[in-house]
Structure 1
Amino acid sequence: MSTGIHDKYESPLTSRYASPEMAALFSPANRFYTWRQLWLNLAKAEKELGVKGITDEAIEEMEAHLILTKEDFEIAAIEEKRRRHDVMAHVYAFGQTAPKAAGIIHLGATSCYVTDNGDLIILRKGLDLLLDKLARAIYHFSRFADKYKSLPTLGFTHFQPAQLTTVGKRATLWIQELLWDLRNIIRARNDIGFRGVKGTTGTQASFLSLFDGDHDKVEALDARVCELFGFEILYPVTGQTYSRKIDIDILNPLSSFGATAHKIATDLRLLANLKEIEEPFEKDQIGSSAMAYKRNPMRCERVCSLSRHLMVLAQDTLMTNSVQWLERTLDDSANRRISLPEAFLTTDIVLSLLQNISEGLVVYPQVIQRHISQELPFMATENIIMAVTKKGGDRQECHEMIRVLSHQAASAVKEEGKENDLIERIKKTEYFKCIHDEVDSLLDPSTFIGRAPQQVDKFIKEHVNPALEPYSEILKQDKHVTLSV
C-alpha cells in the first residue's frame, strides 16, 4: 500500500539527524545554484578579457536567474533523461531561463569546470560550518572542565581503579583531542584550492583557442575566476579533475574526529554505568519500552554509532584516488556523490550531539565520593607507611602489616560483599596506634589529585582560549555562553 512520501527510502542522515544548514549545503538546489555561479563568473571573466559575443544583457540575465525554480529542475530532468549528461542538461535549462546568454554559457569549459570547482566551493563552506560547531563543543566541554577541575574522582587504567584524578582534568583529555581535530580541520580548510579553468585534460587547449593563442590571457582567466570565488590557492596543474588526493586530505581529519567523538562518548557511557556522570535526560524521555526506570545514554550511543560510519568513509577517498587512471576515470563519480556528503552530514550530526551533551552533563558527586571511599584506603597505604616511618617505625615491618590487612579487607569486599574496612582494621591494630589521630587526614581525596586543578587552569588559559579566539563572535551568539572560562 502506497503512503506517498513514505514509500521511498530516505537517508536518515538527512531525514532524521542532519542540521538544516548542512543538509541544504549538499542539496541539489545548492549544487546547481553553485554551477550557475560558476558559469556566470566564467562569462564575466571572459568578457573582461575581451571575448566577443558576451553582452551586458547576457550577464544580467544570468545574474537574475541563479536560483533554480521548479520549472528549471523539470526542464533539466527531461533533458538529462534524453542526453544522459547532467551538466549539459543544466546548461540547457539555464539557457532556457536566460536565453540571451544561451550561446555563451559554459564557453570553453569542460564538465569538471562546474562539477569539480563546485565541489571545492561546497566542501570549503562545509568545513566552515563544522569548525563553528566544533568550537562550540570545545567551549562547553571547557566550561565543564573548569567547573569540576577540583572534584576528585577515581582514575581508571584498564578500567580498573587507579590513582585519583578530577572530573575536570579527565575532560581536558577529551578537549585536547578536539583541539587537535580543530587544528586538522582548519588546515584542511585552508589548503583547499580551486581547480580553475583547465579544459578537458588540464591543458587549457580550448581556452588557448578562445584567446587566439594568447597564453597570458588564458592564465589571467584562470586567476580571475579563482579570485571571483575568493580562493587563495589555484591548483597549478590538473588532469580533467582536481586530484582526488584532495578528498583524502579533507575526509581524513573528519574521520579522525570520528575517533575522538567515539572515545568521548564511550567514556561517558562507562561513567553513566557507574552512575557518576550522565548525559542530558529530558523530562518526558523514555529510556526503555519495558524497563521504565532506565536512563540509557542514548545520545552517546548515537555518537558512537555514527562515528563508526564516519571513521570508515575516508577509506573511500583513498581507494578512489588510487585508481584514477592517467587524466581521470569516471569510477570516482558515484562513490564521491555518496562518501563526500555523508562525511560532512555525519560529522555535522555528531558535533550537534556533542554540543548538546557537553551543555547538559549531569555529575553526581556523592556517587563519585562513594566510589572513592571504596578504593581510597588501598591507595592511601603508601601515605600510611610514610607516616609510621616518620614516627620511628620500620618501613618493611609496616609494609607487611599493611599488606596483611589489605588482603583481609579485599577478601571481605570480594568474597563477602562488604564495604572496604581497611581503615577500621588499621585503627584497631595496636601497631598503628602512633598515627591513629592522623589516619582520617591521610584519606582526604584532595591530597591525592596532584596538580589536576592547576593543569586544568593552565590548559584552558594557554591552549583552549587562544584556539577559540577566532570564534568568539560565534560563541557570543549562543545564549548559554559567557566568555569567562
Structure 2
Amino acid sequence: MKYIFSPRNRFTTWRHLWLWLAESERELGLAGISDVALEQMRAHVRIGDEEFAIADVEEKRRRHDVMAHVHTFGTVAPEAAGIVHWGATSCYVTDNADQIFLRDALDLLLPKLAAVIQRLSKFAVETRHEPCLGYTHGQAAQMVTVGKRATIWIEDLLDDLHNLEHARERLVAKFRGAKGTTGTQASFLAIFNGDHKKVVELDELVTKKAGFTASARSTTQTYSRKIDVDIVHALSSFGCTAERIGGDIRHLAMLREMEEPFEVDQIGSSAMAYKRNPMRSERMCSLGRNLANYSAGVEQTYKAQWLERSLDDSAIRRIVLPEAFLCADACLILLNNISSGLVVNKAMIQRNYNVDLPFMATENFIMAIVAKGHSRQDAHEHIRVMSQEAGRVVKQEGKLNDLIDRIKADKFFEPILDQLDDLMRPETFIGRSPEIVEEVVELDVKPALHKYESAICKIGTADLSV
C-alpha cells in the first residue's frame, strides 16, 4: 500500500500515461512521434534513482511538479522530449494517476477484507452452538451463542465489502482520460484538425491502456471529486465497523469471556505483570475512529471546488487519500491477526451466564407449572417475589443466585421439580442461533467470497511487528 502512493510509483505512472498518450496519438495517425521516441519512453518508463534529483532541481526552478517531470523524462528519452505531454494538461497525468492508485489500492484491500470475513466465518461455525449471555443496554438479556454474535460482525463486514466493490465498479467506469484543460478536449481537437471521431478514439485508447472500462463523458479539468467522496465514505464506513468489532472484543475481554491473541512472551503491562490488555483491539478502535474521520476532508474538498477547477484540493488530497487507504490497510492487518487467534474462555462464559440463567428460565418454569394445571398468575407471583429477593442477594450481598434453591423449597413448584434441570439447559435458550450462523455462511458469505477464493488462499495470518 505504501508503494502504491509512493513517489516512485507516482512518477512512474505519470510516465506510463505519457507513453499511452503518445502511443495512442501515433496509432491515430499523428506525425512526429517516431519509433525511437516510443522505444526510449518504454525503456525509461520506470523513473531511475538519479532522476529524482533532476526533478527536484527542476521543480524548485519551475515551481511546477508536472513540468519538472516532463523535462526530466526528456533527459532520458531525448527523441520524445518534444512530444511528451502533447495536447495534455497537468491533470492528464495527476488525476488519471490518482484514479489508478485508487483502483489498485481497492484491489489490495478487497481480498484482505474477504480473508477476514472467511476467518470470522470459520470461527462462527466452530462456536455456533456455544451458549453465552447476550447483552442489551449493557445488561444481561437472553442467551445467544459465541458464533451468532460473530455473525453480527460478519454481516457488517459484508456490507463494507459490497460498498468497496461498488465504489471500485463506479471508479473504473469513470476514468478522466484525455479531456483537455477544461474538459472540452479542445487541444486534442486542434491536434487532430477538427476530427471529432479521432478525439473520441484517443480518449478510448488511453482509457483501455490504463485498464479502465470507460471514461467519464464530461469532466472539468479534473475528475469529479465526488469520486473521492464515495470511495472514502466506503473506507470510513469500514473504519466504523473496525471500531465496533474492536469495542465488542474489548468488552468481552473485560468480562473475561473472550481474548485476542496473546503471545507467550508478550507483556500486558509494564507495572501489572498479570494483565493481558487487549492492545490489538484498542489499536484497531483507534485507527478505525481515525479512518471514519477522513470523510469530512473529502466532503469539504468536493464542495469547495470552483467551476472548471481550483487548486485548493491538491494538498489535502495528497494527505487524505493515501492516509485513508493506509489506515484501512492497517485495520485489516489487525483484523486478520485478531480473527486468526480469538480465544474463547468457555468456563468464564458459563460462570457468567449461570448468574442470570435462573432468571431467564423462569418463563420455562411458569409454562411447565401451568401445564400441570396450576394458575399462570399464581405461578408468576411466586416467581416474581422469589426473583426479586434472589436478585437482591446477588447485588447487595454478593452471593450466588439462589433462585433455584428457593423454587425447590416452595411446595407450589413440587410438580415440576424433576424437570428443573431440563428446563435450565442453556442450549434451550439460544433459539435459532446455530441455524442463523449456518444460513449467514451459506447464503451470504460464500456467494460474496466466491470471486476471492484464489486470492484468500494466498493470504496468511498477518504478523504484527509491535
TM-score band by shorter chain is: over 0.9
For 2:293, what is the secondary structure of its paired residue? helix
The equivalent residue for 1:377 is 358
The equivalent residue for 1:161 is 140
The equivalent residue for 1:244 is 225
Q: Deviations over 1:202-246 (max 9, x none)?
A: 111111111111111111111111111121121111111111111
Match of 1:86 among 42, 65, 75: 65
For 1:423, what is the secondary structure of its paired residue? helix
1:69 and 2:48 aligned: yes
Match of 2:77 among 78, 93, 98: 98
The equivalent residue for 2:250 is 269
Cα RMSD (Å) of the superposition? 1.0
Q: Which amino acid aligns with 1:73?
A: F
State whether residues 191 and 233 of structure 1, in contact with CA within 8 Å, keep that contact through their aligned partners in structure 2: no
The equivalent residue for 1:138 is 117
Equivalent residues in 2 for 1:160-239 (5 A)? 160-192=139-171, 193-239=174-220
Q: Following TM superposition, by how much is the alpha carbon of 1:479 offset from its aligned partner in structure 2, in angstroms?
A: 5.6
For 1:156, what is the secondary structure of its paired residue? strand
1:400 and 2:384 aligned: no
Q: Distance in 2 between matches of 1:323 and 1:476?
A: 44
The equivalent residue for 1:422 is 403
The equivalent residue for 1:18 is none
Q: Distance in 2 between matches of 1:411 and 1:233?
A: 69
The equivalent residue for 1:454 is 435
Q: Distance in 2 between matches of 1:299 and 1:78?
A: 44
State whether residues 134 and 142 of structure 2, in contact with CA within 8 Å, keep that contact through their aligned partners in structure 1: yes
Match of 2:2 among 23, 44, 48: 23
Identical counterparts, % of pairs: 58
1:440 and 2:440 aligned: no
Q: Following TM superposition, by how much is the alpha carbon of 1:388 offset from its aligned partner in structure 2, in angstroms?
A: 0.8
Cα distance, 1:291–1:263 mapped onto 2, change above 3 Å: same
The equivalent residue for 1:340 is 321
For 2:268, what is the secondary structure of its paired residue? coil
The equivalent residue for 2:446 is 465
Q: Deviations over 1:339-390 (max 9, x none)?
A: 1111100000001100111110000111101111100100110100111111
1:34 and 2:7 aligned: no
Match of 1:48 among 17, 27, 44: 27
So what's the TM-score if we normalise by structure 2?
0.97
Q: Distance in 2 between matches of 1:244 and 1:480?
A: 36
Match of 2:300 among 316, 319, 323: 319
State whether residues 337 and 461 of structure 2, in contact with CA within 8 Å, keep that contact through their aligned partners in structure 1: no
Q: Distance in 1 between matches of 2:364 and 2:307?
A: 69
Q: Following TM superposition, by how much is the alpha carbon of 1:478 offset from its aligned partner in structure 2, in angstroms?
A: 3.9
State whether residues 112 and 456 of structure 2, in contact with CA within 8 Å, keep that contact through their aligned partners in structure 1: no
Q: Distance in 2 between matches of 1:429 and 1:30?
A: 78
Q: Distance in 1 between matches of 2:455 and 2:225?
A: 32
The equivalent residue for 1:16 is none
For 2:2, what is the secondary structure of its paired residue? helix
1:149 and 2:133 aligned: no
Q: Which amino acid aligns with 2:97?
A: G
The equivalent residue for 1:354 is 335
Match of 1:294 among 258, 269, 275: 275
Q: How many positions carry a matched residue from both structures? A: 460
